[in-house]
Amino acid sequence: MTMFRYVRGFRNVFSSRYLASQSFSLVPHTHQTQTHTQQNQTFITTTSSVRGIRRERKNIQPRSAAALTHTTNTAVELAFNSVVKIFTVSCSPNYLLPWQNKSQRESMGSGFVIHGRKILTNAHVVADHSFVLVRKHGSPNKYRAQVKAVGHECDLALLIVDSHEFWDGMLPLEFGDIPFLQQAVAVVGYPQGGDTISVTKGVVSRVEPTQYVHGASQLMAIQIDAAINPGNSGGPAIMGNKVAGVAFQNLSGAENIGYIIPVPVIKHFISDVEENGKYIGFCSLGLSCQTTENVHLRNHFGMQRGMTGVLVNKINPLSDAYRVLKKNDIILSFDGVPIANDGTVPFRNRERITFDHLVSMKKLNEKAVVRVMRDGQELELSITLQPIQPLVPVHQFDKLPSYYIFAGLVFVPLTQPYLHEYGEDWYNASPRRLCERALRELPKKENQQLVILSQVLMDDINAGYERLADLQVLKVNGTEIDNLEHLCQLVENCTKDSLHFDLDDNRVIVLNYETAKIATSRILTRHRIPSSMSADLIDAQNNLQLTSSN
């Protein structure tokens, strides 16, 4: 099993982060979290933007002592006036008790100054932050920083510092290109084992899409043989006198295998923030595709000799591809670039990369031309690309979980962070039915959520229902629910004497409505819960009442 971890430095151990779709591990120090995906399928849900990549191999530096020494010396000179140490105080929500937070924790990472008086770092360095400080090299002072934008999907964040004193002598770093194999790089940051700046040298060993542990996304990454340790997160990898990427994770159980986020992904994140005022995300086709390497499979679908492509298995109903493509279509090319039977396309000189790369080159709402074979005929179709959210969120950083409590019944939307509360082996320890739906089920409409009864806070009113936890809620008084807000409205606006919940596995809960309303206040007081619903549901209720009164 391939295991990755991101590299944030900690002063105390914290719980596992939220992943999906691959078998990876987040190991800040000791905790591990496994993720899984369907077998024998390639999920074309691209989430990177890597534009402007050169296709010819030029000026490749040899792996020589002179090259490494030159890169290291230049990196040190740049780092003194650009790289900063980041101190974060953060507090994650408790998804089993969504009205509470977990214990506060402190962590450390690295970052560096870019144009516009901004500091670039990793998203996992400031995830769930409540307080952020930065310290520049050679200074005893720490300065308050504000998080301007966060892209958890690409594990990047922008910070701003208001203090004019902080910016005295600070110089922004310039971005370079994607390095070629064997080019020398130097990683600069503040890894564990000391408090001063550190420079680690190495060379590029691989460039390919890789699982980003923090955001559970598949994006282009650069593998290097330089050590990237806890605390290095967010530090620049410098090639020559320019930034080649941002250090963010390493390979667990291996020596000197680290990963950096390449410049095209960084530029996509920054342009997103500059053009939209916030981070929007990376586009996706919303497809699940299968390779066609088996000759019998190709013959079955009528692929002629020399014809190559991938087979469409699933289409997300919320994607534009759902309107254009059909199951069992063979995608032959994307924007005129032929797709091989293994799902790859040409990349640079004698290299290949998954065709997700081509999807990732597209901007928000940009169109792509795909050539497909359907029922023996070749068609040329146009698809509009947009970011697509899964039915069950993979992560919920920097936001409080939603919940609704009625008569001691605690209702929450299903998320992967909720399942991760079952521990390191959550895939096997969490309820099997919920886990399978979280990883495989597709949405049918906008704003749809899978709402579950997470637990029952015991009281006379709900006695006998305590074993019905972790079941999906399907209907309230015969009405199918769309999401937690919809369930809340149906319960709060109930006009019948009894309240009837239809649950998964043909289970039923029936309560006297007025008696249950009285019991709700009693139960909240007993468990010291400040409100029967989360802040987002309170706002939704207030907006609904305001709209009704107008």
Q: Where in the sequence numbering do the catalytic residues fall?
A: 124, 155, 233
Q: How many CA atoms are closer than 13 Å to the CA of 229, on its beta-carbon side?
A: 14
- Distance from C-alpha of 228 to C-alpha of 234, rounded to nearest angstrom: 11
What pairing do the DSSP bridges indicate for beta strands 409-413 and 404-406? antiparallel
The single-letter code of the amino acid at 258 is: G
Within 326-431, residue ranges assigned H as helices are 356-360, 416-420, 426-429
> Could you tell me which of 440, 439, 423, 422 has the C-alpha nearest to residue 431?
422
- Distance from C-alpha of 480 to C-alpha of 9, rounded to nearest angstrom: 46
**Is 528 exposed, middle or buried (CB count within 10 Å of its CB: 0-12, 13-18, 19+)?**
exposed
> With helix as H, strand as E and coil as C, how does 213-241 read?
CCCCEEEEEEEECCCCCCCCCCCEEEECC
Question: How does DSSP classify residue 335?
Answer: T
Q: For residue 180, what are the contacts with CB-CB under 8 A and spacing of at least 6?
A: 57, 60, 204, 348
φ, ψ dihedrals at 462, nearest 5°: -115, 15
Torsion of CA 244, 247, 252, 255, to 10 degrees: 60
3-state secondary structure of 167: helix
Within 246-320, residue ranges assigned H as helices are 263-276, 295-300
Reading the block at residue 247, the tokens are 């250090």
What pairing do the DSSP bridges indicate for beta strands 367-374 and 330-334? antiparallel
The Cβ of residue 481 has, within 10 Å, a number of other Cβ atoms equal to 24
- Distance from C-alpha of 282 to C-alpha of 245, rounded to nearest angstrom: 18
- Distance from C-alpha of 150 to C-alpha of 273, rounded to nearest angstrom: 9
- Distance from C-alpha of 378 to C-alpha of 287, rounded to nearest angstrom: 19
- Distance from C-alpha of 525 to C-alpha of 533, rounded to nearest angstrom: 14
> Could you tell me which of 16, 4, 152, 2 has the C-alpha nearest to residue 430?
16
The single-letter code of the amino acid at 448 is: Q
The Cβ of residue 88 has, within 10 Å, a number of other Cβ atoms equal to 26
3-state secondary structure of 135: strand
